[in-house]
C-alpha cells in the first residue's frame, strides 16, 4: 500500500504542476544524454527550415503531431 500512496501523491503533484505552472521537469529518467541532445538538434534543425518546408508536415485535426497549431 505504501508504494500506491507514494504513486498517488506523485500523480497529484504532477497534476498540480500542470494546472498551476503549465510545465514540469522529469529527472532520473534514464534516457542517455546523447539521445536527448540528438533529439534537440533534430527539433532545432526542423524549426530552422523555411516555412514552406515545415508546412509539408501539418498538424492534422484531432492530433498533437505535426507543424502548426490546433
* pTM score of the predicted model: 0.59
What gap in Å lies between CA 60 and CA 65, rounded to an integer?
Answer: 7
The Cβ of residue 49 has, within 10 Å, a number of other Cβ atoms equal to 13
Q: What is the pLDDT of residue 3?
A: 83
> Once rounded to an integer, what is the mean pLDDT over residues 54-62?
93
The Cβ of residue 66 has, within 10 Å, a number of other Cβ atoms equal to 13
What gap in Å lies between CA 9 and CA 37, rounded to an integer?
Answer: 31
Confidence of residue 1 (pLDDT cuts 50, 70, 90): low
3-state secondary structure of 21: helix
pLDDT digits (tens, 9 = 90+) for 9-50: 999 999 999 999 998 999 999 999 999 999 999 999 999 999
> Once rounded to an integer, what is the mean pLDDT over residues 63-69?
88
Amino acid at each position: 500500500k505504501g508504494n500506491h500512496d507514494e504513486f498517488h501523491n506523485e500523480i497529484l503533484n504532477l497534476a498540480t504542476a500542470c494546472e498551476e505552472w503549465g510545465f514540469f521537469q522529469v529527472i532520473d529518467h534514464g534516457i542517455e544524454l546523447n539521445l536527448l541532445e540528438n533529439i534537440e538538434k533534430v527539433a532545432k534543425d526542423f524549426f530552422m527550415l523555411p516555412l514552406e518546408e515545415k508546412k509539408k508536415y501539418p498538424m492534422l485535426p484531432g492530433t498533437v503531431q505535426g507543424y502548426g497549431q490546433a
